[in-house]
């Protein structure tokens, strides 16, 4: 015959197992919520450190041409002229122009970039290479596909070509890192030609695997942004 | 390890010291032979994502790179590598009714494989289940073949539904490598004109079958195509955002036929390009 205390012990253990099984899903939910909160906080902290829209009221109003998606022609870009206070400094000017591009047109369907993506940093190297660092959302919120990714990159390149002649070519980083692709399709390991005046296009002729063969100035810029991201 | 094992055997079966010594020497020799046999296989086997060379340029053992000796059968189109994009933890585009790009492209690839085999092509799929080979592993399937073409299949999350577009990479500068070897990261360079030709033929067939599809080829720097040492195109179908799954399913036979027809038209014109090197030219 089984002693009475073993029956009680078995009952208590069974109750403990059932209670743990009931509590487990709630615990998992709370852990996931805490994880998401931490990730968002890190991204937001970085955004707060950087001036999002460096617009000075003293800048002259200038007509700029933005390239957004065409409403009627699928997969096409159309130039849209808008008036903005624009700096003469090419770095500030690029930030202003790209922030306007990210803010998007009045018609949301003509967007080429995700509304929650942000330009985290921008540099111009002495040889005319621009290095633009976008937040993770440019990768995670963009509609998946070759066409949508191609439109996103083209809208950036053509808008820069129309408004910032000092940027001859562009390197796109995501969250301070060199990325293989934008969102699984379009190759970001290469330098994109921005300005037709970049006749030499020497760096363009050197698509390179991530991190290994980048020209020294760009490698330095990538390292700088990577450190800033870690901070 | 082998040396130790040999000595232990020696102690057990050959109790005298000279026998132990002999067994040790024998074990050392055997270890050396095994090492020499294993090393070249380790460095050459498998698909190495960091490999810098796409294909040896027609260099059979003991043959000079400047003296290609390909048979006539190797100068034409033999193999079609079909690449259903995404898979595994990467579902690609996600649409209504739980449609995922990674699942749908497998259907398109399977039907295309059948249509191509009916035309006499040998077909290789880069994946047949829900796994996600790397870009380089997928390219390696084509780069390891002679006379291959590579077609990567995608379904967009946007775009006019019921249409299909063909993409090739816009430009990949050729290498100045005098050995005739193609650097992995620009493996597509010698094949660009063939890729354009193949893309045009397939796009024409698609636009005949799917109203609203462009008549002409598109260009985009598609990552998957850059490292492929073969005529390579990307076919993107629109889209996972259909009202019901049946709309996409209805496109499957048309896409398969268009690709098979385009490749059949392409086959007679396909000749592996040559790369100029000092003293002649080689075929990649």
Look up the ipTM and state it: 0.73
The residue whose two tokens read 């660009």 is B192
Give domain status of residue B284, yes or no.
Answer: no
Q: Which pLDDT belongs to residue B3?
A: 39
Could you tell me how many CB contacts below 8 A there are between chain A and chain B?
A: 85
Mean pLDDT calculated for residue range B51-56: 44
Structure tokens at B107: 């259907």
Cα(A121)–Cα(A44) distance, integer angstroms: 14
Based on the fold, state whether residues B38 and B76 are members of the same structural domain. Answer: no
The verdict on B114 touching A (C-beta cutoff 8 Å) is no
Q: Are residues B211 and B95 in the same domain?
A: yes
Q: Are residues B7 and B105 in the same domain?
A: no
Cβ count near A37 (within 10 Å): 10
- Domain extent at residue B22: 2-42
C-beta atoms of A148 and B165 within 8 A: no
Higher pLDDT, B6 or A29: A29
**Position A171 pLDDT exceeds 60:** yes
The confidence band for B96, taking pLDDT boundaries of 50, 70 and 90, is confident
Write out pLDDT tens, residues B110-147: 999 999 999 999 999 999 999 999 999 999 999 999 89
Contact call for residues A162 and A67 (beta carbons, < 8 A): yes
Residue A209 sits at the chain B interface (C-beta within 8 Å): yes
What's the confidence (pLDDT) of residue B181?
Answer: 79
CA distance B144 to B56: 10
- Give the pLDDT band of residue B27 (cuts 50, 70, 90): low
Q: How many domains does chain B have?
A: 2
Mutation target for B interface from A69, A70, A147, A157: give the one with most B CBs within 10 A: A147
Residue B56 lies in a domain: no
The alpha-carbon gap from A161 to the nearest alpha carbon of chain B, in Å, equals 18
Indicate yes or no: CB of A145 within 8 angstroms of CB of B158.
yes
- B200 half-sphere exposure, CB direction, 13 A CA radius: 6
Quote the tokens at residue A12: 């208590």
Q: What is the pLDDT of residue A71?
A: 81
For B46-93, the DSSP string reads S--TT--BS---S--TT--TTS----GGGGS--EEEEEE--BTTB--S
Q: Which residue has the higher pLDDT, A209 or A54?
A: A54
First to last CA, chain A: 67
Facing residue for B172 by CB, picked from A74, A75, A207: A207
Q: Does one domain contain both B97 and B20?
A: no
Length of chain B: 284
Question: Can you read off the two tokens belonging to residue A61?
Answer: 């109003």
Q: Tell me the C-alpha to C-alpha distance, in Å, between residue B194 and each of B142, B269, B270.
A: 15, 9, 7
B106 and B247 share a domain?
A: yes
Residues in chain A closer than 8 A to B157 (CB atoms): 143-145, 148
Task: Please say whether the beta carbons of A160 and A126 come within 8 A.
Answer: no
Say what the pLDDT of residue B110 is.
97
Residue B62 lies in a domain: no
Give the chain A residue nearest B92 (alpha carbons).
A144
- Listed by number, the residues of chain B in 181-240 with a beta carbon closer than 8 Å to a beta carbon of chain A are 185-186, 214, 218, 220-224, 226, 234, 236, 238-239
Tokens 């090492």 -> residue: B35
For testing contact with chain A, the best of B94, B101, B158, B228 (most A CBs within 10 A): B158
CB A33 within 8 A of CB A25: no
Q: What percent of chain B has pLDDT over 90?
A: 55
Rounded to whole angstroms, the Cα distance separating B109 from B252 reads 9
In a domain, B131, yes or no: yes
Same-domain status, B30 and B92: no
d(CA B34, CA B39): 9
Is residue B12 domain-shared with residue B91, that is, in the same domain? no
CA quadruple A172, A173, A175, A176: dihedral positive or negative? negative
Quick one: B196 and B110 in the same domain?
Answer: yes
Question: Residue B265 is part of a domain; what is its CATH number?
Answer: 3.40.630.40
- What is the model's pLDDT at position B76? 81
- Backbone φ and ψ of B115, nearest 5°: -65, -40
**What pLDDT is recorded for position A44?**
59
Say yes or no: B10 and B142 in one domain.
no
Q: Quick check: B174 contacting A, CB < 8 Å?
A: no
**Averaged pLDDT of chain B:** 79
CA distance B135 to A185: 10
Q: CB under 8 Å to A48, separation ≥6 — which residues?
A: none
Q: Who has greater pLDDT, B239 or B202?
A: B202
Instruction: Kindly determine whether residue A187 and residue B223, on different chains, have CB atoms separated by under 8 Å.
Output: yes
The model's pTM: 0.72
CA B19 from centre of chain:
54
Asked whether the predicted pLDDT for residue B217 surpasses 80, the reply is: yes
Same domain (yes/no): B17, B143: no
What single DSSP character describes residue A75?
Answer: T
For A191, name the nearest residue in chain B, comparing CA atoms only: B221
A-chain CB neighbours of B186 within 8 Å are 207
Of residues B9 and A159, the one with the higher pLDDT is A159
Query: Can you list the alpha helix ranges (DSSP code H) found in chain B?
Result: 2-13, 17-44, 101-118, 135-143, 192-209, 223-226, 245-266
Q: Of B94, B214, B221, which is closest to A190 when you measure between CB atoms?
A: B221
Tokens for A150? Answer: 């191609």
**Is the domain of B35 the same as that of B88?**
no
CA distance B4 to A63: 81
Alpha-carbon gap, residue A18 to A9, rounded angstroms: 14
Tell me: do B83 and B224 sit in the same domain.
yes
Mutate to test the interface with B, among A77, A114, A139, A145 (most CBs of B within 10 A): A145
Give the containing element (helix H, strand E) for B232.
Answer: strand B232-238
B47 located within any domain = no
CA distance A188 to chain B (A): 8
Q: Is A58 exposed, middle or buried (0-12, 13-18, 19+ CB in 10 A)?
A: exposed
Instruction: Kindly state whether residue B282 falls inside one of the protein's structural domains.
Output: no
Mean pLDDT lowest among A58-67, A203-212, B44-53, B77-86: B44-53
Contacts of B218 in chain A (CB under 8 A): 75, 147, 150
Contact: A184, B101; criterion CB under 8 Å: no
B232 contacts B85 by C-beta, under 8 angstroms: no
């Amino acid at each position: 015959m089984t002693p009475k205390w073993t029956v009680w012990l078995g009952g208590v253990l069974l109750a403990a197992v059932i209670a743990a099984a009931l509590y487990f899903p709630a615990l998992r939910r709370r852990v996931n919520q805490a994880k998401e909160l931490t990730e968002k906080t890190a991204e937001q902290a970085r955004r707060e450190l950087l001036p999002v829209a460096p617009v000075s009221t003293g800048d002259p109003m200038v007509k700029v041409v933005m390239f957004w998606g065409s409403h009627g022609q699928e997969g096409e870009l159309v130039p849209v002229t808008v008036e903005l206070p624009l700096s003469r400094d090419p770095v500030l000017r690029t930030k202003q122009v790209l922030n306007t591009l990210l803010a998007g047109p009045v018609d949301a369907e003509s967007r080429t970039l995700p509304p929650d993506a942000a330009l985290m940093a921008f540099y111009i190297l002495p040889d005319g290479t621009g290095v633009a660092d976008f937040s993770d959302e440019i990768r995670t919120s963009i509609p998946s596909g070759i066409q949508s990714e191609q439109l996103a990159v083209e809208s950036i390149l053509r808008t820069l070509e129309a408004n910032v002649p000092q940027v001859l070519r562009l390197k796109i980083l995501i969250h301070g890192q060199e990325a293989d692709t934008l969102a699984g399709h379009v190759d970001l390991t290469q330098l994109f030609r921005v300005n037709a005046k970049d006749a030499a296009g020497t760096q363009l002729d050197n698509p390179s695997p991530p991190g290994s063969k980048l020209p020294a100035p760009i490698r330095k810029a990538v390292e700088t942004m990577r450190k800033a991201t870690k901070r | 390890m082998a040396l130790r094992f040999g000595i232990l055997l020696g102690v057990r079966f050959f109790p005298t010291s000279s026998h132990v010594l002999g067994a040790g020497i024998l074990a050392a020799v055997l270890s050396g032979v095994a090492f020499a046999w294993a090393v070249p296989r380790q460095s050459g086997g498998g698909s190495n994502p960091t490999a810098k060379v796409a294909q040896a340029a027609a260099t059979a053992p003991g043959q000079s790179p400047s003296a290609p000796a390909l048979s006539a059968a190797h100068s034409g189109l033999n193999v079609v590598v079909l690449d259903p994009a995404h898979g595994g933890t990467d579902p690609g585009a996600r649409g209504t009714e739980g449609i995922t790009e990674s699942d749908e492209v497998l259907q398109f690839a399977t039907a295309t494989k059948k249509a191509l085999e009916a035309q006499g092509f040998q077909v290789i799929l880069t994946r047949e289940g829900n796994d996600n080979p790397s870009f380089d592993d997928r390219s390696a399937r084509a780069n390891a073949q002679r006379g291959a073409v590579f077609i990567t299949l995608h379904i967009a999350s946007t775009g006019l539904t019921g249409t299909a577009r063909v993409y090739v990479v816009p430009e990949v500068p050729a290498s100045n490598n005098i050995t005739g070897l193609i650097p992995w990261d620009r493996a597509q360079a010698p094949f660009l004109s063939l890729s354009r030709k193949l893309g045009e033929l397939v796009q024409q067939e698609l636009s005949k079958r799917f109203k609203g599809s462009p008549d002409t080829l598109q260009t985009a720097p598609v990552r998957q195509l850059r490292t492929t040492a073969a005529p390579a195109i990307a076919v993107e179908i629109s889209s996972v955002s259909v009202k019901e799954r049946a709309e996409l399913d209805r496109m499957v036979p048309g896409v398969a036929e268009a690709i098979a027809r385009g490749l059949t038209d392409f086959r007679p014109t396909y000749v592996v390009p040559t790369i100029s090197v000092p003293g002649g030219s080689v075929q990649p």
